[in-house]
Structure 1
Amino acid sequence: MKFFDREQGIGKDLALLGLVFGVLYFQFLGRLPLIDPDEGRYVEIPREMLERGDFITPTLNYVKYFEKPPLHYWLNAISLAVFGENEFAARFAGTLCGLATVLLTYYLGRKIYDRRAALISAGILGTAGGFLVLARINYTDMTLTFFLSAAFAFFMLASREGAEHRGRNYCLFYIFMALAVLAKGLIGIVLPGGVILAYLAFTKRWRLLREMRLGTGILVFLAVAAPWFVLVSLRNPEFPQFFFIHEHFQRFLTKVHHRYQPPWFFIPILAATLLPWSPFIPAALKKGWQEHKNGDALYLLLWAGVIFAFFSKSNSKLVPYILPVFPPLALLIGNWFREATSAAAVRRHGIAVGSLLLLLGAGAIGYPLVAPKPEVAVVDGAIVGGLFLVEGVVALWAGRTGNPFTLFASLGVAGYLFALAAPPVVYARMVDKSSVKTLSLALREKAGQDAKIACYMTYEQGVPFYTHRRAIVVGDRDELQFGSERGDNTGWYLDRDQFHRLWDSGDTVFATLRRRDLSTLQQSVRTPVRVVAVQGKEKLLVCNREVTGTVGALK
């Protein structure tokens, strides 16, 4: 407790937090192969940017790709240039944004609360299991989360009564909002705009519209965000319709991307990804509402609530979309811990959290033992389940003391240790199902420059990155549909019949495919299908020529 109450400069705390959580977030970051499809996609695009020397028009598998703006690609391109073309470089920028979001949460907590609340809030966000896992995967969403959170934070600091450095903070608000747009599109305007409008309506502080320096702010925003949109539109006249209409309005209002989930989808997702802190959300929200007249609590509630409602309403839902609600929730929970005075309430929460973690631990251990085809190995389930059990026991013990600091510190340390030990198990399981590194390295070794390489029925995003070669796509083009229809891509996008003729043409052809598609290929061609490499239980590399040495084993 004395450490949390000690007077200490913000810079020293940020350095300490950067060290403590930097170890957690960057440990063994490049040990495992890329997890497809996202990691392969979001590192191949910047690799092609570097190769082509074109940082305006993104390409994927060497065709135009306009689904996202370029900021995440640019950051990854810098990382590739500095660290080389490897898995660590692929994940570095996104992980750095995750760590920066933890530090930003501390900084905002220090400004609106005090040092104790700031450190607790940063500890909560930094040890939230789902946030850590998603920060260590190459997603655009963590980049968006940092820049969007920074925009929210600096508006909050600028708009407080008696705020210092008001002009500087408003300027930073516009800059970070522009960067959020460059990270993931119009969402960088829509979400801050929705939260601020709701905040003004609740507080009746419409005078902030004058204080916000809208004229200057718009110029600053456009100076940062507009150049790329202008340049890419001049070079690619088809960009505006695809990016703004198809990728924004149709994505939100329709099921065109086949990512529909029910409106309640993010409730269990949030509960799982914010463990071990999610059981404190109801109490933190209640306390925030009780204090909403002070403005800060109301702003944090709207920050979390508007974003949660927006994505819950959207017809396109993926787990990482929920990331921007983590910082305000961490601050609200941190404030609950700071001001908790009821020993009985602390004990209730300790019992609730401990019981939940014990239940999860028992489930993780028991599931592989009873499931007919468990997705988790017995050893992996025992490791993760055992860690949950330890956390549960710690929570029950700490809760019994009735001391909120003891409960936080115990859960924080247990959560930190869990985050050190559990992610390698989680990532290894994801890699086993999703990576194509083994197949790609076999391609690099065995496929000469005259050989053709293809992805049969499923485009494997990591193949071009690991091989530095363009792949023929057979069957559904999915997200490559738009780009494949621009320019001359003859011979690169084939239906099954065209590929079967290529297989029998006499050219040397290698193809990645899923096990379920092997029999279809074998029955459709005359030339024998030879297995060259196997990855996991589902992915194969095959060739229409005899190749020395098989990598892996066909089980």
Structure 2
Amino acid sequence: MKINKPLLVFGLSLLLFLFWAQAFPVTDSVESNYALTAKEMVTSADWISPRIYGKFWYDKPVMIYWLLALAMKAFGYAELAVRLVPALAGAGGVALIYWFVAKVRNERTGLLAAVLLATSLQYLIIAKLIITDSLLFTLNAAALACFYLGYINHRGAARRWYLLSYPCLGLAVLTKGPVGVLLPGLVILIFLAWRKRWSALRKMRLGVGLLLFSAVALPWYGLMYARHGQAFLDTFFGIHNFLRATVSEHPRDNVIYYYPLLFVASTLPWTGVCFAGLGEGWRQCRKWDDLSSFLLIWAGVFVVFYSLMATKYPTYTFPILFPVIVLTACYLENRWEQKDFRFGWLMGGGLLLWYATLVFVGGRYLNGVLLAVYVILNVICLSAIMFGCGRFTGSKRFLPLAAGVIAGYLLFAALVVPPFGSDRSGKELARMLASYAHYQIGAFQFYSTAAVYYGGHRLTMLETGADIHHFRQHTFSWYAKYTMPVATVPEFLAGPGKLKMIIVKRSGWPRFKAETSGVASLEKVGQNAEYLFYRVRAI
């Protein structure tokens, strides 16, 4: 029986990304927003207008919510169900890079690219996270891969590949918005200008392609405008697109070296050979090599575009991993063919840094015997890799290196990720609040959307009188993205319901005490290492 190799790569990658996913709780604040919105899509039976806390929400297009909601309908609201969507998208990206490189180079290089991508630090992380980026990565990569295959083929085959790229772009716009088509479009235009091949535009059948793109991308946007009018346009395109580009949400990150430093970390443990691959790609580009030129332009457009934006996020340049890994795989394959193994120290150094990173992060979330066991297991893995590299020669030394990276990741996923997730999740808070189902609950100067997702108990965020105006202004600012119920302590006490409780972080106790002095009587009813629980009533 003939094995479908892309499907096999997909299946193995899916198992890798889903490993121990059931022990990784939904975290605050980004993941929980997506999870709760999808949950409310299921419970409201409204599959058009995303909502959160019972209010319409225009943060992201609908694609990610549809997929999460379908997973919830099929498998419930447990962690494994919601983490299935990014894992599927991540596995799709790995299968795609194998398939693409096998077509433009050969199957061995394709398999190498798949392993490099699936074991890169940022890819391993994002394939587990409930965010849009894994899906956008695969859709944008599929669109650009189809374009390139159309570019290098002729006549009928070229037209088919070109046409396949348009629905991929449409789905990308349904996933992330305008950047889903803007950046791939810039890559294509700059590449054609660089190669002086404007004639390719005629072969792309732009008219038919625009119809395909519009049929996929535009109906949902049209329905949203018909339902919500200017409010949708102002919030989605204004705040979540234009404002993000012009006003930094995190000013401390708005530095020129943000993405170069991120690249070093995101490509671990293959950082050294990735830089070597980029260097080799540049040399080939100067020789007018089509593939190298296309891949470098692809990576360059994304980096330059997001470097110019005011808001910087770790996931914005995530899509450049595809072209960078393809260049790296081609570089390694060329070196192996030439029996040149001088790059081995780059891989060895990257692997040592990989394990050092895993142990360092593990030390922040583990202690005692468990930490000792974790460190010992990592040392054993590293020793086994060194032994394996001593037993193999040439390109076969990559096998123990790759196996060692995967082993380190599996240990990290099983022992470190669960406490890491619990530290950033409101799941335990939701469990503690289950005994207070009939209470109105306020959270003083913090909010856990994950607690709402897990417990179903809607919280009210309590702010001081001096700060509440930020959340109530209707100006063009970042505060407009917060849609949870917000009130002052006196307003909360005067609101509906006789039974009221306020949760306070221990670090916020002094300010809470000052805010409630002379306003409310407090009775402590519970506590844990992080929170204090008070039954309150107005004086």
Which category of TM-score, normalised to the shorter sequence, fits these structures? 0.7 to 0.9
Residues 256 and 17 of structure 1, relative CA distance in 2, 3 Å threshold: closer
Q: Which residue of 2 is the match for residue 333 of structure 1?
A: 328
Kept in 1, the 8 Å contact 2:27–2:421? The answer is: yes
Kept in 2, the 8 Å contact 1:129–1:415? The answer is: no
Deviation at 1:82, TM superposition (A): 0.2
Q: Percent identity?
A: 27
Question: Counterparts of 1:267 and 1:385 in 2: how far apart (Å)?
Answer: 33
Stretch moving more, 477-486 or 105-114: 477-486
Deviation at 1:257, TM superposition (A): 5.9
From 301, 304, 311, the counterpart of 2:306:
311
Opposite residue 269 of structure 1, the aligned amino acid is L
Q: Which residue of 1 is the match for residue 296 of structure 2?
A: 301
Q: Which residue of 1 is the match for residue 437 of structure 2?
A: 448
Q: Which residue of 2 is the match for residue 354 of structure 1?
A: 348
From 440, 456, 463, the counterpart of 1:468:
456
Kept in 2, the 8 Å contact 1:391–1:411? The answer is: no
Kept in 2, the 8 Å contact 1:259–1:315? The answer is: no
Kept in 2, the 8 Å contact 1:148–1:180? The answer is: yes
Deviation at 1:358, TM superposition (A): 3.1
1:321 counterpart SS class: coil
Paired residues for 1:77-116 under 5 Å: 77-116=69-108
Question: Counterparts of 2:275 and 2:155 in 1: how far apart (Å)?
Answer: 30
Question: Counterparts of 1:365 and 1:71 in 2: how far apart (Å)?
Answer: 36
Question: Counterparts of 2:333 and 2:416 in 1: how far apart (Å)?
Answer: 33
From 478, 488, 498, the counterpart of 1:495:
488
Structure 2 length as normaliser, TM-score?
0.88
Deviation at 1:332, TM superposition (A): 1.1
Deviation at 1:406, TM superposition (A): 2.1
Stretch moving more, 225-234 or 387-396: 387-396
Question: Counterparts of 2:358 and 2:79 in 1: how far apart (Å)?
Answer: 29
Paired residues for 1:7-406 under 5 Å: 12-162=4-154, 165-237=157-229, 238-256=231-249, 260-292=253-285, 293-341=288-336, 346-347=341-342, 349-358=343-352, 361=355, 377=367, 379-380=370-371, 383=374, 387=378, 390-391=381-382, 394=385, 398=389, 403=394, 405-406=395-396
Stretch moving more, 26-35 or 76-85: 26-35
Q: Which residue of 2 is the match for residue 518 of structure 1?
A: 509
Kept in 2, the 8 Å contact 1:30–1:86? The answer is: yes
Question: Counterparts of 1:357 and 1:213 in 2: how far apart (Å)?
Answer: 46
Opposite residue 302 of structure 1, the aligned amino acid is I
Question: Counterparts of 1:16 and 1:538 in 2: how far apart (Å)?
Answer: 45
Deviation at 1:176, TM superposition (A): 0.7
2:341 counterpart SS class: helix
Question: Counterparts of 1:492 and 1:56 in 2: how far apart (Å)?
Answer: 23
Residues 396 and 340 of structure 1, relative CA distance in 2, 3 Å threshold: farther
Residues 298 and 77 of structure 1, relative CA distance in 2, 3 Å threshold: same
Q: Which residue of 2 is the match for residue 433 of structure 1?
A: 423
Question: Counterparts of 2:376 and 2:253 in 1: how far apart (Å)?
Answer: 31
Kept in 1, the 8 Å contact 2:442–2:462? The answer is: yes
Kept in 2, the 8 Å contact 1:65–1:482? The answer is: no
Residues 459-513 of structure 1 show CA distances to partners (whole Å, capped at 9, x for unaligned) of: 2111221122332222378899879999xx9x942024423x449x982123344
Q: Which residue of 2 is the match for residue 416 of structure 1?
A: 406
Question: Counterparts of 2:216 and 2:278 in 1: how far apart (Å)?
Answer: 35
Aligned residues: 522
Residues 396 and 267 of structure 1, relative CA distance in 2, 3 Å threshold: farther
1:521 counterpart SS class: helix
Deviation at 1:21, TM superposition (A): 2.1
Deviation at 1:78, TM superposition (A): 0.2
Question: Counterparts of 1:15 and 1:46 in 2: how far apart (Å)?
Answer: 28
Deviation at 1:390, TM superposition (A): 4.3
Opposite residue 210 of structure 1, the aligned amino acid is R
Give the ranges of 4+ consecutive aligned residues of structure 1 lying more than 6 Å apart after TM superposition.
Answer: 366-369, 399-402, 476-486
For structure 1, the 5+ residue unaligned runs are: 1-7, 546-555
Question: Counterparts of 2:471 and 2:318 in 1: how far apart (Å)?
Answer: 23
Question: Counterparts of 2:358 and 2:49 in 1: how far apart (Å)?
Answer: 45
Residues 288-313 of structure 1 show CA distances to partners (whole Å, capped at 9, x for unaligned) of: 22323231121111112211222222
Question: Counterparts of 1:95 and 1:366 in 2: how far apart (Å)?
Answer: 25
Residues 473 and 187 of structure 1, relative CA distance in 2, 3 Å threshold: same
Question: Counterparts of 1:35 and 1:438 in 2: how far apart (Å)?
Answer: 11
Question: Counterparts of 1:169 and 1:533 in 2: how far apart (Å)?
Answer: 60
2:508 counterpart SS class: helix
Opposite residue 335 of structure 2, the aligned amino acid is A
Residues 277-336 of structure 1 show CA distances to partners (whole Å, capped at 9, x for unaligned) of: 111112111222232323112111111221122222222122222321112112111111
1:165 counterpart SS class: helix
Deviation at 1:58, TM superposition (A): 1.2
Stretch moving more, 96-105 or 133-142: 133-142
Question: Counterparts of 1:21 and 1:95 in 2: how far apart (Å)?
Answer: 8
